Amino acid sequence: MIVVIIGHLKRAVRKFTKTDFFKAFIYIIVAVSIATIGFSYLEGRSLADSFYWAVITLTTVGYGDITPATSAGRIFVVFVSILGIGMVAIFAGTFASYLIGIQPEREMRRLKKMTDIVLICGYNEKIKNFLKEIDINSKESKDMVCIAPLEERPEDLPESIVFISGKPYEDKFLLKAKIFDVTEAIISLDHDQDAILTALAIGGLNRKTEIICNVIREENVKHLYKIGVKKVLCDETVGGQMLASMYKEEATFEILHHA
């Protein structure tokens, strides 16, 4: 039992030493040590008083109950104050990075439990409208994962959908999204070449995935058919068809207008 506990502690320590928190911790220890020893030497104060002064000064609190009496001490205070500003900035930055990283870690834990996945490639107005039209919160709905070339998770992306920041046509992001558990893929990207590359990448990794792909140019539809994509939606074709329907029948316009 003791051996197991020690093993867990060692792994925890090794993991901690690789984090930014450990680097910030080392910076704080070094800064407090320098400030304590330097103030004690220059001002002739006890280590206890100097340690108290160092912590108060470095944290930019500055009560003023212990102040330097010598010129050298005053110059040293300026140096320590600069160290304190750096310490606060490093700690704040490290903590902010930690908070930013919490959400992706939680989503990856959720992703591990998913087995029947609908993969959404891209996040644009078409995808937003697609999500509005389907009931993603029903009991029958499948788990969804979205890969999009965005730096941060979109604020309006439903919480139930796991988000992965990356290019959906790169294997590493598809593997991260558990592509072998993906049964359906919805592709809607801003550039047709990216949509075609994504369809190729998905098909190359999991041929059982049913792909629904949206492209802008009609000339690119044939390329998707050639690589085995059976469901293709083309903006130019559909747009022309809808215009013709509106021209021929007023009812079509009314239906779309109130949709």
Instruction: List CB contacts of 72: < 8 A, sequence separation 6 or more.
Output: 42
Domain assignments of the chain as residue spans, ordered by start? 2-106, 114-257
According to CATH, the topology of domain 114-257 is Rossmann fold (3.40.50)
- How does strand 162-165 pair with strand 143-148? parallel
**pTM of the predicted protein model:** 0.61
For 195, other C-beta atoms within 10 Å of its C-beta total 27
CATH number for the region 2-106 comes to 1.10.287.70
Work out whether the CA dihedral 16, 151, 156, 170 comes out positive or negative.
negative
pLDDT by 10s per residue, the chain, length 259: 666 566 656 676 576 566 677 777 888 888 899 999 999 999 999 999 999 998 888 887 777 788 888 888 889 988 888 888 888 787 777 766 665 555 667 777 888 888 889 999 999 999 998 998 887 766 567 889 999 999 888 989 988 899 999 999 999 999 999 999 999 999 999 999 999 999 999 999 999 999 999 999 999 999 999 999 999 999 888 766 666 666 666 554 454 444 5
Residue 125: phi and psi, rounded to 5, are -65, -35
